[in-house]
Structure 1
Amino acid sequence: MDIVILGTGNVATHYAKAFQSLGHHITQVYSRTSANADALAEVVFAESIHNLSQISDSADLYIIAVSDQAIKPVIDQLPNQLQGIVVHTSGATPLTILNRFEKSGVIYPPQSLSKNIETDLSAIPFAVEGNTHEVEQMLLQIAQQLSHKSFRCNSQQRITLHIAAVFVNNFSNALYQVAFDLLKRENLDIELIRPIIRETANKVQHQEPGEVQTGPAIRNDMQTIHAHLQFLSQEKHLAQIYQNLTALIIKTR
């Protein structure tokens, strides 16, 4: 299969390398920044392009793997006569943004990917959508080459999955940083908190999070909660986060 990769970021890099390793031909890599296009194209033995007027119209698959706000500007510059399937990789962007193409779809990875960190894509459940049943079946077969966990997922389900991923990944990661900063401020080693991070993550691999919730909020331990809020009183933004999350836990216990 001939594949054009549009983008050179985290997702684009993983897709390009993965499909190339599966024996597919990455024909072109596009980026507005020629150095970025050159770097990824060299890795996957592709032609580097930095102007969409140079794009081939005969590839089997066009993968738009750019930031959400850049998807439409890229689409607007693509020619109408592309023969292959045009897909994006966004969790929050509906399939309808690709309506002007005869064959279109989505292959979305609900995973935090970094281009310089190796990731086992076979463990990722890729969410697949196509504008027709035939296209969707083709994309599902393609995605299942990356991971047998790939599955059909409409746009409403996909944005739900994306929001869930933001809660468990982006938000939790931001809270990890809050914890690290608090420890550093009191000259405590951040290694002290890593075991509980691992334990929490391990528990939810086998149980519902609500079933294993611990801490002062679930116990309605107002004395401890007030002591924590007093400690955070000079950092009102952190106190507000603490109060909001405490209220959430109390509401759902």
Structure 2
Amino acid sequence: MNIVILGSGNAATHFGQQFQKTGHHIVQIYSKTKANADALAFALHCAAIDQLSELDLHAHLYLIAVTDQAIVSLLEALPKDIKGVVIHCSGATDLSVLAGFKNAGVIYPPQSLSKNKAVDFSTVPLCVEGNTDENSAKLLQLAQTFAPRSIYCNSQQRLAIHLASVMVNNFTNILYQMAYELLAENELSFDLIKPIILETAEKVQNHIPITVQTGPAIRQDSTTMQKHLQFISNKPDLQQIYQLLSQEITKRK
């Protein structure tokens, strides 16, 4: 399959590498910044362009791998007579934004992607959607060549996965940072709580999260909870977060 990648960032890099490893041919890399297009094109041994007028119109697949905010403006600039399948890889963008193209779809990875960190796609379930049954089947087959756990997923389901991913990744990470700051203020190392972070992450691999919930809220230990709140009385935002999360835990007891 001949593939054009529109974008040169993290998702473009990982998808380009995986497509190439599984025998597909990357024809072009497009980026508004020529230096960025050149860098990824050099790594993938293909052409680099920074003008859509130079776009190869005979590719089988056009992967849009830009920020969510940039998707619509890029789509508006693309020729509408493209015969290949035009796809994006966003979790929060509906398939309907591709309505102007005859063949369209989505391949979304619910995974944080960084250029310099390898991803084991054998464990990542890519979420696939096409605008026709034929395109859905074609995209799922493509995704499963390097991510065998890939699944069909409509736009609403994909949005749910994206939101859930934000909750378990982005939200927990800012809690890690708040814990880091709390420990640092008390001259303690964040290393002290790394074992419990790992233990919790390991537990939810094999259990429904609420069934392995621990802590004062699930025990309804109001004495300890009040001590915690008093300890952070100079941090009203953290107090509010503590109380809201504790309430959610208590509801599920």
**Aligning the two structures, in what range does the TM-score lie when normalised by the shorter sequence?**
over 0.9
Is 1:106 the counterpart of 2:122 in the alignment? no
Paired letter, 1:20: Q
Deviations 1:40-62 (A, max 9, x none): 11000111111222211110000
Deviations 1:147-186 (A, max 9, x none): 1101111111111111111111111111111111111111
SS at match of 2:205: coil
Whole-angstrom distance in 2 between the partners of 1:232 and 1:4: 53
Q: What's the offset of the Cα at 1:21?
A: 1.4
Q: What's the offset of the Cα at 1:137?
A: 0.5
> What is aligned with 2:249?
249
Whole-angstrom distance in 2 between the partners of 1:234 and 1:49: 54
Whole-angstrom distance in 1 between the partners of 2:183 and 2:30: 43
Whole-angstrom distance in 2 between the partners of 1:145 and 1:73: 31
Whole-angstrom distance in 2 between the partners of 1:243 and 1:104: 45
Is 1:196 the counterpart of 2:191 in the alignment? no
Whole-angstrom distance in 2 between the partners of 1:81 and 1:56: 12
Number of matched residues?
253
Deviations 1:61-82 (A, max 9, x none): 0000111111101101100111
Q: What is the correspondence of 1:124-203 to structure 2 with a 5 Å cutoff? A: 124-203=124-203
SS at match of 2:111: coil
> What is aligned with 1:47?
47
Whole-angstrom distance in 1 between the partners of 2:241 and 2:196: 20
- Unaligned ranges ≥5, structure 1: none
> What is aligned with 1:22?
22
Whole-angstrom distance in 2 between the partners of 1:52 and 1:171: 37
> What is aligned with 2:35?
35
Whole-angstrom distance in 1 between the partners of 2:28 and 2:150: 25
- Unaligned ranges ≥5, structure 2: none
Q: What is the correspondence of 1:24-103 to structure 2 with a 5 Å cutoff? A: 24-103=24-103
RMSD: 0.8
Q: What's the offset of the Cα at 1:36?
A: 0.9
TM-score in terms of structure 2 length: 0.98
Whole-angstrom distance in 2 between the partners of 1:198 and 1:81: 50
